[in-house]
Amino acid sequence: MAERLSPGDPAPDFTLQDADGKPVSLADHRGRKVIVYFYPAAMTPGCTKQACDFTDNLDQLATAGYDVLGISPDAPEKLAKFRTKESLRVTLLSDPDRATLTAYAAYGEKTNYGRTVTGVIRSTVIVDEEGKVEHAFYNVKATGHVAKLIRDLGV
């Protein structure tokens, strides 16, 4: 597992397919702040709650200068179904080989119901306009995380 990111670190660049199979790069968002959040699986209760919370607050975040990218190991086809089913407006990206998840230390060992397992660590990284890490939050909760993030960022 990669070292956890800290404020001031360069954010690992990536180019991943979105729900429509189009490439999206972190570099495409230079000049704006980016909330990159990592979640285990589309269409699961916690991930659905988190994606809906981001969608519900997307306009407020965009007005404050933030773009939002959600990354999971799911295939673009599953992300497209998730987006349609839940009416999501967040950009969802597919990382099937988990390279970006690993680079952001959002994949590795975690405790799940008292057992140690390997998987996606629910995390959120705020990247500034120059591509540097502004904040890195690991092991976040699906419920209430977006509201806390908005408070912490002063949005």
d(CA 153, CA 155): 5
d(CA 127, CA 104): 12
**Cβ–Cβ under 8 Å, residues 26 and 11:** yes
**List 16, 24, 34, 47, catalytic entry:** 47
Give yes or no: 47 in active site: yes
- Residue 7 CA, distance from chain mean position: 17
DSSP state of 4: P
Which residues are catalytically annotated? 47
